[in-house]
Amino acid sequence: MPDVTDTELCPAEFLGEDRPSRSLSMPWQINVALTTRCPLNCPQCYVKADEARDIDWAVLAAYVAEAAALKMHELNLSGGEPLSYPRLAEAVRLATAAGLGTAVATSGVGLTAALAKELAASGLGSLWLSLNGSREEIHALSRTCFRETLTAAALLKSLGLPFYINWVARQDNAGDFPALAAKARDLGAKGIVVLVLKPDSRHNAGAVLTGEAFFRLAAFLRDYDDPAMPIEVESCYSAMRLAVHGEWTTGIEAGCSAGRDTVAIDVAGRLRPCPHLDSAEAGVTIAEYWRRSPALAALRATEETIGAPCRGCGHLPFCRPCRAKAAKVYGDPAAGDRQCPVALREMTRHLFR
Ligand SMILES: C[S@@+](CC[C@H](N)C(=O)[O-])C[C@H]1O[C@@H](n2cnc3c(N)ncnc32)[C@H](O)[C@@H]1O
Protein backbone atom coordinates (compact mmCIF):
# COMPACT_ATOMS: atom_id res chain seq x y z
CA MET A 1 0.00 0.00 0.00
CA PRO A 2 1.16 3.56 -0.60
CA ASP A 3 1.77 5.71 2.45
CA VAL A 4 -1.51 7.59 2.48
CA THR A 5 -0.12 10.33 4.67
CA ASP A 6 2.24 11.22 1.79
CA THR A 7 -0.45 11.08 -0.83
CA GLU A 8 -2.47 14.02 -2.01
CA LEU A 9 -6.06 13.37 -0.98
CA CYS A 10 -9.06 13.76 -3.22
CA PRO A 11 -9.87 17.48 -3.53
CA ALA A 12 -12.82 18.42 -1.33
CA GLU A 13 -14.86 19.83 -4.20
CA PHE A 14 -15.21 16.34 -5.64
CA LEU A 15 -16.65 15.03 -2.39
CA GLY A 16 -18.99 17.86 -1.42
CA GLU A 17 -17.98 20.85 0.65
CA ASP A 18 -19.04 19.48 3.99
CA ARG A 19 -17.37 16.13 3.57
CA PRO A 20 -13.81 15.33 4.54
CA SER A 21 -11.47 13.89 1.90
CA ARG A 22 -11.54 10.16 2.21
CA SER A 23 -9.80 8.88 -0.86
CA LEU A 24 -6.48 8.90 -2.62
CA SER A 25 -6.31 11.52 -5.35
CA MET A 26 -6.43 8.65 -7.83
CA PRO A 27 -7.09 4.94 -7.23
CA TRP A 28 -4.19 2.72 -6.30
CA GLN A 29 -5.53 -0.52 -7.70
CA ILE A 30 -8.01 -1.59 -10.31
CA ASN A 31 -9.94 -4.87 -10.43
CA VAL A 32 -10.67 -6.06 -13.94
CA ALA A 33 -13.20 -8.73 -14.95
CA LEU A 34 -11.58 -10.13 -18.11
CA THR A 35 -14.30 -12.60 -18.98
CA THR A 36 -17.51 -14.16 -17.74
CA ARG A 37 -16.37 -17.53 -19.07
CA CYS A 38 -15.65 -20.12 -16.41
CA PRO A 39 -15.49 -23.92 -16.46
CA LEU A 40 -16.80 -23.95 -12.87
CA ASN A 41 -20.22 -23.24 -11.47
CA CYS A 42 -19.42 -22.60 -7.81
CA PRO A 43 -22.38 -22.40 -5.41
CA GLN A 44 -20.99 -19.27 -3.71
CA CYS A 45 -20.03 -17.28 -6.80
CA TYR A 46 -21.31 -13.73 -7.17
CA VAL A 47 -20.71 -13.75 -10.95
CA LYS A 48 -24.01 -14.85 -12.46
CA ALA A 49 -23.43 -14.47 -16.19
CA ASP A 50 -26.13 -15.26 -18.76
CA GLU A 51 -23.67 -15.30 -21.65
CA ALA A 52 -19.99 -15.97 -22.29
CA ARG A 53 -18.35 -12.61 -22.84
CA ASP A 54 -14.78 -11.26 -22.91
CA ILE A 55 -13.74 -7.69 -22.22
CA ASP A 56 -13.07 -5.77 -25.43
CA TRP A 57 -9.30 -5.65 -25.97
CA ALA A 58 -9.24 -2.01 -27.13
CA VAL A 59 -11.22 -0.98 -24.03
CA LEU A 60 -8.83 -2.89 -21.76
CA ALA A 61 -5.78 -1.39 -23.49
CA ALA A 62 -7.18 2.13 -23.10
CA TYR A 63 -7.78 1.60 -19.36
CA VAL A 64 -4.26 0.16 -18.92
CA ALA A 65 -2.77 3.21 -20.65
CA GLU A 66 -4.81 5.56 -18.47
CA ALA A 67 -4.01 3.62 -15.28
CA ALA A 68 -0.30 3.90 -16.10
CA ALA A 69 -0.61 7.63 -16.84
CA LEU A 70 -2.37 8.09 -13.49
CA LYS A 71 0.53 6.26 -11.79
CA MET A 72 -1.74 3.55 -10.45
CA HIS A 73 0.05 0.56 -8.94
CA GLU A 74 -1.74 -2.65 -9.69
CA LEU A 75 -4.19 -4.45 -11.94
CA ASN A 76 -6.06 -7.39 -10.36
CA LEU A 77 -7.17 -9.68 -13.17
CA SER A 78 -10.21 -11.81 -12.42
CA GLY A 79 -13.50 -12.90 -13.97
CA GLY A 80 -15.10 -15.41 -14.59
CA GLU A 81 -12.00 -17.49 -14.97
CA PRO A 82 -9.04 -15.41 -16.21
CA LEU A 83 -7.32 -18.56 -17.51
CA SER A 84 -10.28 -18.90 -19.91
CA TYR A 85 -9.49 -15.47 -21.38
CA PRO A 86 -7.40 -16.16 -24.49
CA ARG A 87 -5.28 -13.00 -24.20
CA LEU A 88 -4.39 -13.29 -20.49
CA ALA A 89 -0.61 -13.41 -20.95
CA GLU A 90 -0.85 -10.57 -23.45
CA ALA A 91 -2.82 -8.52 -20.90
CA VAL A 92 -0.12 -9.16 -18.28
CA ARG A 93 2.60 -8.13 -20.77
CA LEU A 94 0.69 -4.96 -21.66
CA ALA A 95 0.32 -3.97 -18.00
CA THR A 96 3.94 -4.85 -17.18
CA ALA A 97 5.23 -2.82 -20.13
CA ALA A 98 3.14 0.11 -18.88
CA GLY A 99 4.79 -0.16 -15.44
CA LEU A 100 1.79 -1.65 -13.61
CA GLY A 101 1.93 -4.60 -11.23
CA THR A 102 -0.42 -7.50 -11.89
CA ALA A 103 -2.21 -10.20 -9.90
CA VAL A 104 -4.36 -13.04 -11.21
CA ALA A 105 -7.11 -14.75 -9.17
CA THR A 106 -7.86 -18.23 -10.47
CA SER A 107 -9.26 -21.65 -9.67
CA GLY A 108 -6.20 -23.05 -11.46
CA VAL A 109 -8.45 -25.01 -13.82
CA GLY A 110 -6.79 -24.89 -17.24
CA LEU A 111 -3.33 -24.02 -15.94
CA THR A 112 -0.60 -25.74 -17.96
CA ALA A 113 3.16 -25.60 -17.48
CA ALA A 114 3.45 -23.61 -20.71
CA LEU A 115 0.89 -21.01 -19.61
CA ALA A 116 2.37 -20.75 -16.09
CA LYS A 117 5.83 -20.10 -17.58
CA GLU A 118 4.42 -17.63 -20.08
CA LEU A 119 2.64 -15.70 -17.33
CA ALA A 120 5.83 -15.60 -15.26
CA ALA A 121 7.87 -14.48 -18.29
CA SER A 122 5.23 -11.79 -18.98
CA GLY A 123 5.96 -10.26 -15.58
CA LEU A 124 2.98 -11.52 -13.56
CA GLY A 125 3.32 -10.15 -10.02
CA SER A 126 1.31 -12.73 -8.09
CA LEU A 127 -1.01 -15.65 -8.69
CA TRP A 128 -3.85 -16.42 -6.28
CA LEU A 129 -5.44 -19.86 -6.16
CA SER A 130 -8.93 -20.06 -4.69
CA LEU A 131 -9.23 -22.82 -2.11
CA ASN A 132 -12.09 -22.92 0.38
CA GLY A 133 -11.26 -26.13 2.26
CA SER A 134 -8.43 -28.43 3.23
CA ARG A 135 -10.57 -31.38 2.08
CA GLU A 136 -12.84 -31.87 -0.89
CA GLU A 137 -15.97 -32.29 1.29
CA ILE A 138 -15.42 -28.82 2.80
CA HIS A 139 -14.29 -27.06 -0.39
CA ALA A 140 -17.22 -28.52 -2.37
CA LEU A 141 -19.76 -26.81 -0.09
CA SER A 142 -18.90 -23.51 -1.77
CA ARG A 143 -16.61 -24.23 -4.75
CA THR A 144 -16.05 -26.97 -7.31
CA CYS A 145 -12.87 -28.58 -8.75
CA PHE A 146 -10.87 -29.18 -5.56
CA ARG A 147 -8.52 -31.68 -7.21
CA GLU A 148 -7.81 -29.43 -10.18
CA THR A 149 -6.85 -26.59 -7.84
CA LEU A 150 -4.47 -28.89 -5.96
CA THR A 151 -3.02 -30.04 -9.29
CA ALA A 152 -2.39 -26.42 -10.26
CA ALA A 153 -0.69 -25.81 -6.89
CA ALA A 154 1.55 -28.85 -7.40
CA LEU A 155 2.42 -27.67 -10.91
CA LEU A 156 3.39 -24.21 -9.69
CA LYS A 157 5.47 -25.70 -6.89
CA SER A 158 7.26 -28.04 -9.32
CA LEU A 159 8.05 -25.07 -11.57
CA GLY A 160 9.28 -23.01 -8.61
CA LEU A 161 6.63 -20.34 -9.27
CA PRO A 162 5.20 -18.60 -6.19
CA PHE A 163 1.47 -18.59 -5.47
CA TYR A 164 -0.91 -17.52 -2.72
CA ILE A 165 -4.28 -18.81 -1.51
CA ASN A 166 -7.59 -16.90 -1.53
CA TRP A 167 -9.88 -18.37 1.13
CA VAL A 168 -13.44 -17.10 1.68
CA ALA A 169 -14.56 -17.30 5.33
CA ARG A 170 -17.90 -19.10 5.62
CA GLN A 171 -19.84 -20.83 8.35
CA ASP A 172 -19.30 -24.15 6.53
CA ASN A 173 -15.48 -23.86 6.38
CA ALA A 174 -14.44 -21.62 9.29
CA GLY A 175 -13.65 -24.56 11.59
CA ASP A 176 -11.45 -26.04 8.86
CA PHE A 177 -9.18 -23.00 8.64
CA PRO A 178 -6.33 -24.35 10.82
CA ALA A 179 -6.23 -27.45 8.58
CA LEU A 180 -6.40 -25.24 5.48
CA ALA A 181 -3.39 -23.26 6.73
CA ALA A 182 -1.45 -26.52 7.22
CA LYS A 183 -2.52 -27.70 3.77
CA ALA A 184 -1.41 -24.40 2.20
CA ARG A 185 2.01 -24.82 3.81
CA ASP A 186 2.27 -28.38 2.42
CA LEU A 187 1.26 -27.17 -1.02
CA GLY A 188 4.03 -24.57 -0.92
CA ALA A 189 1.82 -21.47 -0.84
CA LYS A 190 3.55 -18.20 0.06
CA GLY A 191 0.60 -16.85 2.00
CA ILE A 192 -3.17 -16.80 2.50
CA VAL A 193 -5.67 -13.99 2.32
CA VAL A 194 -8.90 -14.35 4.30
CA LEU A 195 -11.73 -12.90 2.22
CA VAL A 196 -15.07 -11.80 3.62
CA LEU A 197 -18.11 -13.53 2.16
CA LYS A 198 -20.19 -11.12 0.07
CA PRO A 199 -23.64 -12.67 0.27
CA ASP A 200 -26.77 -11.40 -1.35
CA SER A 201 -30.34 -11.92 -0.32
CA ARG A 202 -30.64 -15.08 -2.44
CA HIS A 203 -27.18 -16.61 -2.19
CA ASN A 204 -25.02 -17.45 0.77
CA ALA A 205 -27.01 -15.48 3.34
CA GLY A 206 -26.95 -18.52 5.64
CA ALA A 207 -23.20 -18.95 5.18
CA VAL A 208 -22.16 -15.84 7.12
CA LEU A 209 -20.17 -16.80 10.22
CA THR A 210 -21.98 -17.04 13.54
CA GLY A 211 -20.42 -15.06 16.40
CA GLU A 212 -18.92 -18.21 17.87
CA ALA A 213 -17.25 -19.26 14.61
CA PHE A 214 -16.12 -15.68 13.98
CA PHE A 215 -14.37 -15.30 17.33
CA ARG A 216 -12.84 -18.78 17.14
CA LEU A 217 -11.34 -17.91 13.74
CA ALA A 218 -10.20 -14.52 15.09
CA ALA A 219 -8.44 -16.24 18.02
CA PHE A 220 -6.61 -18.59 15.63
CA LEU A 221 -5.52 -15.68 13.43
CA ARG A 222 -4.40 -13.65 16.47
CA ASP A 223 -2.18 -16.49 17.70
CA TYR A 224 -0.91 -17.47 14.25
CA ASP A 225 2.74 -16.63 13.80
CA ASP A 226 4.55 -18.12 10.83
CA PRO A 227 6.49 -15.51 8.87
CA ALA A 228 7.21 -18.14 6.21
CA MET A 229 3.52 -18.23 5.29
CA PRO A 230 1.78 -15.02 6.38
CA ILE A 231 -1.99 -14.83 6.66
CA GLU A 232 -3.70 -11.53 5.96
CA VAL A 233 -7.33 -10.48 6.40
CA GLU A 234 -8.63 -8.39 3.48
CA SER A 235 -9.43 -4.81 4.39
CA CYS A 236 -13.17 -5.08 3.71
CA TYR A 237 -13.39 -7.81 6.38
CA SER A 238 -12.80 -5.02 8.83
CA ALA A 239 -14.73 -6.55 11.75
CA MET A 240 -12.35 -9.52 11.55
CA ARG A 241 -9.36 -7.18 11.35
CA LEU A 242 -10.65 -5.46 14.49
CA ALA A 243 -11.11 -8.76 16.31
CA VAL A 244 -7.61 -9.90 15.31
CA HIS A 245 -5.55 -6.70 15.46
CA GLY A 246 -7.66 -4.23 17.47
CA GLU A 247 -7.85 -0.64 16.25
CA TRP A 248 -5.00 -1.07 13.81
CA THR A 249 -5.69 0.86 10.62
CA THR A 250 -7.59 4.11 10.16
CA GLY A 251 -8.66 6.40 7.35
CA ILE A 252 -8.41 5.22 3.78
CA GLU A 253 -6.81 1.92 4.77
CA ALA A 254 -9.62 0.91 7.14
CA GLY A 255 -12.42 -1.21 5.76
CA CYS A 256 -14.14 -1.15 2.36
CA SER A 257 -11.69 0.32 -0.13
CA ALA A 258 -14.20 0.97 -2.93
CA GLY A 259 -13.86 4.59 -4.00
CA ARG A 260 -11.11 5.14 -1.41
CA ASP A 261 -8.14 3.52 -3.14
CA THR A 262 -9.76 0.97 -5.45
CA VAL A 263 -11.96 0.90 -8.51
CA ALA A 264 -13.23 -1.88 -10.80
CA ILE A 265 -13.92 -2.48 -14.49
CA ASP A 266 -16.58 -4.98 -15.45
CA VAL A 267 -16.56 -7.23 -18.51
CA ALA A 268 -18.68 -4.70 -20.42
CA GLY A 269 -15.90 -2.15 -19.88
CA ARG A 270 -17.89 -0.08 -17.37
CA LEU A 271 -16.48 1.39 -14.18
CA ARG A 272 -17.77 0.26 -10.81
CA PRO A 273 -16.78 0.96 -7.20
CA CYS A 274 -15.88 -2.73 -6.75
CA PRO A 275 -16.66 -6.01 -8.53
CA HIS A 276 -19.41 -6.74 -5.98
CA LEU A 277 -21.29 -3.42 -6.21
CA ASP A 278 -23.74 -3.25 -9.11
CA SER A 279 -23.78 0.48 -9.87
CA ALA A 280 -21.86 0.84 -13.15
CA GLU A 281 -21.01 3.89 -15.24
CA ALA A 282 -20.08 3.79 -18.93
CA GLY A 283 -18.34 6.27 -21.21
CA VAL A 284 -16.11 7.91 -18.60
CA THR A 285 -12.38 7.80 -18.01
CA ILE A 286 -11.02 6.47 -14.71
CA ALA A 287 -10.05 10.02 -13.70
CA GLU A 288 -13.52 11.44 -14.46
CA TYR A 289 -15.20 8.55 -12.69
CA TRP A 290 -12.98 8.90 -9.65
CA ARG A 291 -13.66 12.61 -9.37
CA ARG A 292 -17.31 12.86 -10.32
CA SER A 293 -19.11 9.60 -9.68
CA PRO A 294 -22.05 10.08 -7.30
CA ALA A 295 -21.73 6.41 -6.28
CA LEU A 296 -18.13 6.95 -5.17
CA ALA A 297 -18.99 10.21 -3.40
CA ALA A 298 -21.73 8.34 -1.49
CA LEU A 299 -19.28 5.62 -0.48
CA ARG A 300 -16.83 8.24 0.77
CA ALA A 301 -19.57 9.61 3.01
CA THR A 302 -20.16 6.24 4.69
CA GLU A 303 -18.97 7.47 8.09
CA GLU A 304 -21.82 10.01 8.16
CA THR A 305 -24.54 7.98 6.47
CA ILE A 306 -24.06 4.43 7.78
CA GLY A 307 -26.94 2.90 9.71
CA ALA A 308 -27.09 0.95 12.99
CA PRO A 309 -25.24 -0.72 14.62
CA CYS A 310 -22.26 0.94 12.90
CA ARG A 311 -23.59 4.47 13.38
CA GLY A 312 -22.25 5.66 16.71
CA CYS A 313 -20.01 2.61 17.09
CA GLY A 314 -16.68 3.63 18.62
CA HIS A 315 -14.84 1.36 16.17
CA LEU A 316 -16.19 3.10 13.05
CA PRO A 317 -13.01 5.14 12.38
CA PHE A 318 -11.16 1.81 12.17
CA CYS A 319 -13.81 -0.26 10.44
CA ARG A 320 -16.03 0.26 7.39
CA PRO A 321 -17.81 -3.02 6.70
CA CYS A 322 -18.36 -4.40 3.19
CA ARG A 323 -20.74 -2.07 1.33
CA ALA A 324 -21.63 -4.74 -1.22
CA LYS A 325 -23.13 -6.90 1.53
CA ALA A 326 -25.11 -3.88 2.74
CA ALA A 327 -26.42 -3.23 -0.79
CA LYS A 328 -27.21 -6.85 -1.58
CA VAL A 329 -28.61 -8.13 1.70
CA TYR A 330 -30.27 -4.98 3.06
CA GLY A 331 -30.93 -3.21 -0.27
CA ASP A 332 -29.06 -0.11 0.96
CA PRO A 333 -25.33 0.53 0.44
CA ALA A 334 -25.41 2.72 3.56
CA ALA A 335 -26.88 0.02 5.83
CA GLY A 336 -24.89 -0.93 8.90
CA ASP A 337 -23.68 -4.49 9.37
CA ARG A 338 -26.58 -5.85 11.40
CA GLN A 339 -24.79 -9.18 11.77
CA CYS A 340 -21.51 -7.67 13.02
CA PRO A 341 -20.26 -10.04 15.74
CA VAL A 342 -18.14 -7.32 17.36
CA ALA A 343 -21.11 -4.97 17.71
CA LEU A 344 -23.46 -7.75 18.86
CA ARG A 345 -20.98 -8.89 21.50
CA GLU A 346 -20.56 -5.36 22.80
CA MET A 347 -24.32 -4.74 22.85
CA THR A 348 -24.99 -7.90 24.87
CA ARG A 349 -21.88 -7.85 27.08
CA HIS A 350 -23.77 -6.41 30.09
CA LEU A 351 -26.11 -9.44 30.04
CA PHE A 352 -23.25 -11.72 31.02
CA ARG A 353 -21.70 -9.60 33.77
C1 LIG B 1 -15.15 -14.75 -8.70
S2 LIG B 1 -13.62 -15.61 -8.55
C3 LIG B 1 -12.95 -15.34 -10.16
C4 LIG B 1 -11.59 -15.95 -10.35
C5 LIG B 1 -11.53 -17.46 -10.52
N6 LIG B 1 -12.56 -17.99 -11.35
C7 LIG B 1 -11.50 -18.17 -9.18
O8 LIG B 1 -12.28 -19.09 -8.98
O9 LIG B 1 -10.68 -17.78 -8.35
C10 LIG B 1 -12.59 -14.57 -7.54
C11 LIG B 1 -12.62 -14.87 -6.05
O12 LIG B 1 -13.88 -14.47 -5.54
C13 LIG B 1 -14.29 -15.43 -4.59
N14 LIG B 1 -15.76 -15.36 -4.45
C15 LIG B 1 -16.70 -15.86 -5.26
N16 LIG B 1 -17.93 -15.60 -4.80
C17 LIG B 1 -17.77 -14.89 -3.66
C18 LIG B 1 -18.66 -14.33 -2.71
N19 LIG B 1 -19.99 -14.42 -2.85
N20 LIG B 1 -18.13 -13.69 -1.66
C21 LIG B 1 -16.79 -13.57 -1.51
N22 LIG B 1 -15.89 -14.07 -2.37
C23 LIG B 1 -16.37 -14.74 -3.44
C24 LIG B 1 -13.79 -16.74 -5.17
O25 LIG B 1 -13.73 -17.78 -4.19
C26 LIG B 1 -12.44 -16.32 -5.67
O27 LIG B 1 -11.46 -16.45 -4.66
Vertex 178 angle, CA 222 and 254, to 5°: 40
Query: Residue 97: inside a domain, yes or no?
Result: yes
Pocket test for ligand 1, best of 34, 42, 128, 130 (most atoms within 8 A of CB): 130
Query: Residue 312: inside a domain, yes or no?
Result: no
When pLDDT is averaged across residues 157-173 and rounded to a whole number, the result is 98
Total-model pTM = 0.94
When pLDDT is averaged across residues 194-219 and rounded to a whole number, the result is 91
Nearest in space to 23 (alpha carbons), one of 333, 296, 317: 296
When pLDDT is averaged across residues 64-86 and rounded to a whole number, the result is 97
The pLDDT value recorded for residue 351 is: 66
Q: How remote is the CA of residue 4 from the centroid of ligand 1, in Å?
A: 28
When pLDDT is averaged across residues 63-68 and rounded to a whole number, the result is 98
Q: Closest ligand 1 atom to the C-alpha of 128?
A: 9
Q: How many helices (H) and strands (E) does the chain have?
A: 13, 9
The pLDDT value recorded for residue 13 is: 47
Query: Residue 138: inside a domain, yes or no?
Result: yes
Pocket test for ligand 1, best of 34, 38, 150, 195 (most atoms within 8 A of CB): 195
Query: Residue 337: inside a domain, yes or no?
Result: no
Vertex 67 angle, CA 64 and 68, to 5°: 85
Query: Residue 253: inside a domain, yes or no?
Result: yes
Judged by DSSP in three states, 347 sits in helix
The pLDDT value recorded for residue 1 is: 35
The pLDDT value recorded for residue 3 is: 37
Higher pLDDT, 48 or 280: 280
CATH of the domain at 191: 3.20.20.70
Question: Which letter, b or e, does each residue of 321-338 get, where b requires 16 or more Cβ atoms within 10 Å of its Cβ?
Answer: bbbbbbbbbeeebbbbbe
Q: What pairs with residue 77 in β-bridges?
A: 32, 104
Domain that holds residue 115: 4-303
Query: Residue 146: inside a domain, yes or no?
Result: yes
Q: How remote is the CA of residue 78 from the centroid of ligand 1, in Å?
A: 9
Question: Closest residue (by CA) to atom 27 of ligand 1?
Answer: 130
Say which range, 7-16, 32-41, 155-164, 198-207, has the weakest mean pLDDT.
7-16
The pLDDT value recorded for residue 251 is: 82
Q: How remote is the CA of residue 45 from the centroid of ligand 1, in Å?
A: 6
Query: Residue 308: inside a domain, yes or no?
Result: no
Q: Closest ligand 1 atom to the C-alpha of 129?
A: 9
Query: Residue 281: inside a domain, yes or no?
Result: yes
Pocket test for ligand 1, best of 44, 55, 132, 209 (most atoms within 8 A of CB): 44
Backbone angles phi, psi at 252, to 5 degrees: -60, -30
Nearest-10 Cα torsion for 63, 66, 67, 72 = -170
CB 103 within 8 A of CB 162: no
- Tell me, what DSSP letter sits at residue 10? P
Q: How many domains does the chain have?
A: 1
**% residues pLDDT > 70 (the chain):** 93
Pocket (CB within 6 angstroms of ligand 1): 38, 44-47, 78-79, 81, 105-107, 130, 166, 168, 195, 197-198, 204
